[in-house]
Structure 1
Amino acid sequence: MADGTKVADVDEVPESGSYLFTAADAFTTETEIVLVRCDEEPGVEAWPNTCTHERQRFDRGDGAAVRDGEIVCPRHGSMFDVCSGACDNGPAAGTELPDVEIEVESGSVFLTDDNYSFLHAGGIDDDGHGSTSHISL
């Protein structure tokens, strides 16, 4: 069994888009995190829901824009690889998203990062319903 808290089933993470959830960091500050599909094992990755350039939210509650294996920042168009978090274009070029550790086991995604505690599905101000948009650019 994975050593962490179940966040979602893999089937809840859209093929193109994101699944949004809220976690608390070590200082109990609420932080939004997105799950996105990745072609590399374990098939899903987790990233903070903010661009490294100006902390713009990727997923505003209706799913992050994902195109050709990259998360697109809605403000300036920087694109981050869904598997590595690296950005090689736009204002965020040369940066990468901070890693959020997860495990996928038996079709479920578990938050295993010691820096975060799972709070609920959805964004900070949501009523606990996760975003599962299948819309992409």
Structure 2
Amino acid sequence: MADATEIADRSAVPAGGSYRFTAEDAFGNETEVILVLCEESPGVRAWVNNCTHEDQRFDAGRGAAIRDGEIICPRHGSMFDACSGECDNGEASGTALPGVDIEIEDDTVLLTDDRYDYLHDGGVNDGDDGPGSTSHLSF
């Protein structure tokens, strides 16, 4: 598959958690995406790493909280089905997570969504040490 980008081995996606990576859209906007296990084929789903109710990340670096096949928003407790992305409770009820297209080939998760280009593992600001000296004051 020429247009697919390797993200991770399926075994890197933890049960009860998530695998986070950063992708870029056509406008240069960086987006965090999480991979979560799902009981439906192909066994892994990819979702934009934000609750639909507020700009709250599910995985801020320690993995998303997942219980009984549902991704839990850490802010208000809304629960999203890990397979469908749909929410039927809490503040986000009636919404669904934006999905990101992936495929599994030989136990490797591949990014196949033509809206995104893979940038790196981890979050948007991971490894960002920030600016160098920002002080221009003299005493």
TM-score of the aligned structures, taking structure 2 as reference length:
0.89
5+ residue gaps, structure 2, are 129-139
In structure 2, give the amino acid aligned to 1:95: T
Give the C-alpha shift of residue 2 in structure 1: 6.8
In structure 2, give the amino acid aligned to 1:15: A
SS at match of 1:91: helix
In structure 1, give the amino acid aligned to 2:73: C
Q: Say if 2:30 is the partner of 1:30.
A: yes
Give the C-alpha shift of residue 24 in structure 1: 0.2
Q: Provide the C-alpha distance between the structure 2 equivalents of 1:2 and 1:103, rounded to a whole number of angstroms.
A: 13
Instruction: Kindly report which structure 2 residues correspond to 1:106-125, keeping only aligned pairs within 5 A, or say none.
Output: 106-125=106-125
Q: Provide the C-alpha distance between the structure 1 equivalents of 2:76 and 2:64, rounded to a whole number of angstroms.
A: 14
TM-score of the aligned structures, taking structure 1 as reference length:
0.91
5+ residue gaps, structure 1, are 129-137
Change (3 A) 1:126 1:94: same
Instruction: Kindly report which structure 2 residues correspond to 1:4-23, keeping only aligned pairs within 5 A, or say none.
Output: 4-23=4-23
Report which structure shows greater RCO (CA 8 Å, sep ≥6): 1
Q: Say if 2:90 is the partner of 1:95.
A: no
Instruction: Kindly report which structure 2 residues correspond to 1:70-89, keeping only aligned pairs within 5 A, or say none.
Output: 70-89=70-89
RMSD, aligned α-carbons? 1.2
Give the C-alpha shift of residue 127 in structure 1: 2.6
Runs of 4+ in 1 over 2 A off after TM superposition: none
Task: State the structure with more CA Rg.
Answer: 2
Q: Which residue of 2 aligns with 1:62?
A: 62
Change (3 A) 1:99 1:50: same
